[in-house]
A = this chain, B = another copy of it.
Amino acid sequence: MLNYSRTEENYIKAIYHLEAGKDSVSTNDLAESLQTKPASITDMLKKLKKKKLVSYQAYYGCRLTLEGKQLALMIIRRHRLWEYFLSQKLDFSWDEVHDVAEELEHVSSEKLINKLDAYLGFPRFDPHGDPIPDEKGAIANDKLISLNNQPENKPCIVSKIGNQSVSILEMLEQKNIAIKTRLEIIKKYPFDGSMEVKVGRSRTTILTKELAHNIFIKEV
């Protein structure tokens, strides 16, 4: 794998995240995501096409090639491993790791990343519950389901939070809910989508549908 500029890497990663689901990524969405102007996107897409990282047809958006997708996975691997390191070893809190990882992800020594991976014990999820691609780019796709889709009286484990804002962190912290917390829905209220949930073994609390929608779980 060749070496790419920080800017190119950020584009590739953004395309990867945006193309999930959709069958092509629009110039405008990319501009929005990268906080830049559509004209700049067009310029860069031409360049990335020349480098065979994306397929791109004028006016019809772009997609990653296989090579582009592999690069994206490596950048995401670095990002999430650093987030895990910051949270686990340096005692950073959940919502502080992302910005620093955004810088560290561009240090591209493969040896560094593989040794870091080993040092951390080959973690499979980052502090937000997102899966960490392995050395070859393979990614655990435990199909995570939202707490909204879980029936009553079936215990489950929090494995990912959909939204990484400070406000949701605060709220979950106060309710004692974190990655790996055991939850069980006691009662669902169809009227407003809210639910009464047992947190861990004893305490119960009320979650709105907005909050529950952002809590992804695995069955136990």
Whether A119 is near chain B, meaning CB under 8 Å from some CB there, is yes
B90→A116 contact, CB < 8 A: yes
Instruction: State A103–B96 Cα separation when bound (angstroms).
Output: 22
A103→B109 contact, CB < 8 A: yes
A90→B112 contact, CB < 8 A: yes
Whether A104 is near chain B, meaning CB under 8 Å from some CB there, is yes
Give the number of times this chain occurs in the complex, counting copies: 2
B103→A107 contact, CB < 8 A: yes
CB-CB under 8 A from A116, the residues of chain B are 90
Whether A4 is near chain B, meaning CB under 8 Å from some CB there, is no
Instruction: State A34–B96 Cα separation when bound (angstroms).
Output: 35
B89→A112 contact, CB < 8 A: no
B92→A100 contact, CB < 8 A: no
Looking at the assembled complex, report how far the CB atom of A134 sits from the nearest CB atom of chain B, in whole angstroms.
18
B interface footprint on A107-137 (CB within 8 Å = 1, 0 otherwise): 1110110011001000000000000000000
Whether A142 is near chain B, meaning CB under 8 Å from some CB there, is no
Whether A43 is near chain B, meaning CB under 8 Å from some CB there, is no
A90→B119 contact, CB < 8 A: yes
A115→B103 contact, CB < 8 A: no
B119→A109 contact, CB < 8 A: no
Whether A62 is near chain B, meaning CB under 8 Å from some CB there, is no
Residue of B nearest to A112 (CB): B100
Whether A158 is near chain B, meaning CB under 8 Å from some CB there, is no
Instruction: State A116–B103 Cα separation when bound (angstroms).
Output: 16
Contact among B86, B104, B107, B115 for A91, CB-based, below 8 A: B115
Instruction: State A89–B89 Cα separation when bound (angstroms).
Output: 11
Instruction: State A215–B40 Cα separation when bound (angstroms).
Output: 53
Looking at the assembled complex, report how far the CB atom of A54 sits from the nearest CB atom of chain B, in whole angstroms.
26
13 additional contacts, CB 8 Å, given A103-B108, A103-B109? Answer: A86-B112, A89-B119, A90-B112, A90-B116, A90-B119, A91-B119, A92-B111, A96-B111, A99-B109, A100-B107, A100-B109, A103-B107, A104-B107
